[in-house]
Amino acid sequence: MDELKARILSEGKVLPGNIIKVGSFLNHRVDTALLGRMAEEFAKHFDISKITEILTIEASGIALASVCSYLWGIPLVFAKKAKSDNIENGLLCSEIYSYTYKKTVTVMVESEFIKPEDHILIMDDFLANGEAIRGLTDIVREAGATLEGIGIAIEKGFQGGGDKFRKAGIDIYSLAVIDSADDCKIVFRD
């Protein structure tokens, strides 16, 4: 998506450790109009008439997934990274390593929210190594639901996470795939 790539180039920053900072429009301060146009792009790729639930993970993926949920009229479920008092028994869980927080966390969804008859579209703002997405696919599998695809705003292609899912035959669609990034230049995959 050319508009997203242009925003990454004009407003994004590459921090040490190949961290791509896009907090000015995607995952801290949010340009909801841009997210709406991103939702339109995803709807061109995925057959949203098949989707019964959108699944994401807290926290940064919620904004994009919420806009898609609203525009498409499809419920949104997000996996939590911590068990709170309002989460009841019957949890679908997966352990993932969070590179952002440098620790292993258990992500969870109450089992009443994803059923075997559901057709799930996973959405997130970033894909790097693929740990968060792997955790979400584990939850879909544990529920016995059908994974219809994975929609990603920005994929760090040089970290290989997306390629793992593609090799497994999963329909993954990223709006911007970055092949390399350093403090001087970001290079996108065509």
Q: Which residue has the tokens 């219809």?
A: 148
Overall size of the chain counted in residues: 190
**Distance of CA 39 to CAs 33, 67, 69, 98, Å?**
10, 7, 9, 26
CATH of the domain at 157: 3.40.50.2020
pTM of the model: 0.94
pLDDT digits (tens, 9 = 90+) for 3-58: 999 999 999 999 988 889 999 999 999 999 999 999 999 999 999 999 999 999 99
Q: How many domains does the chain have?
A: 1
Gyration radius of the chain over CA positions: 16
- For residue 44, the enclosing domain spans 2-188
Summarised one tens digit per residue, pLDDT across range 150-182 is 999 999 999 999 999 999 999 999 999 999 998
